[in-house]
Amino acid sequence: MIKYLLILLLLIYGQIVSYSQNILSFDAEDITFEIQDSVFTVKGIYYFSSESEKRYSILYPFPTDSIYGKPMGIVVKYIISGETIDYKVKKDSSSISFSALIKEKTPVMISYQQHLKSNKARYILRSTNYWNKPLQQVNYKLITEPDFIIKRFSTPPDKEITLNNKKIYLWQRQNFMPTNDFENDY
């Protein structure tokens, strides 16, 4: 009886260890935003990791308020291989879902555009809370025309520069757990 109990405990322990090694982690993001001609463009590199190679389902949200058009020009691909990742758009256009093979640290690029029907651009950051841990590193860059005026930032930029006839706003954070979305009124 003790022999069977010991075997059962070892099996349970093995399952727990195996499960804990197969957890997907969202570690960092590097995103370039651009506002031009009432179109908000997002091109992000998202760094996922897992201790063992496994395919994970990932959900990526979009703002769907009436002041934003439906996402268009969506591209999802692995950065290292350049291979495109198939995705499905939710019927209400509020998100896409895709399955990605993640091993160690895997960067995935997601880009899209949305028409802006008002003077507000928004990128959803609070979904980071779903992961229950801060992002180790984030880098955000917003590019506009030099005469484009932003009236309000939800998070003031760390730096503003002009380069190649473009105005560029920069943010950099470590151990970042956002409390609000990235919103800019212009």
CA separation for the pair 92, 65 (Å, rounded)? 11
Whether 146 shows a pLDDT value over 90: the answer reads yes
Furthest-apart CA pair in the chain: how many Å?
A: 79
Q: For the chain, how are helix, strand and coil distributed in percent, rounded to 5?
A: 15, 55, 30
Q: Which of 18-22, 39-43, 68-72 has the lowest mean pLDDT?
A: 18-22
Which pLDDT does position 13 carry in this prediction? 34
CA separation for the pair 81, 116 (Å, rounded)? 33
Indicate the pairing of strand 25-36 with strand 39-61.
antiparallel
**CA count, 13 A, side-chain hemisphere, 57:** 4
Residue 32 — pLDDT band, cuts 50, 70, 90? very high
Whether 18 shows a pLDDT value over 60: the answer reads no
Mean pLDDT of the chain: 86
Whether 3 shows a pLDDT value over 50: the answer reads no
Task: Give alpha helix (H) positions in the chain.
Answer: 2-21
Residue 69 φ/ψ, nearest 5 degrees: -75, 170
Look at the pTM and tell me if it is higher than 0.85. Answer: no
Residue 52 φ/ψ, nearest 5 degrees: -130, 155
Which pLDDT does position 96 carry in this prediction? 97
Q: Which of 15-19, 88-92, 118-122 has the lowest mean pLDDT?
A: 15-19
List Cβ neighbours of 126 (8 Å cut-off, separation of 6 or more).
Answer: 178, 179, 180, 181
Which domains are present in the chain?
24-185 (2.60.40.3680)
Which pLDDT does position 180 carry in this prediction? 82
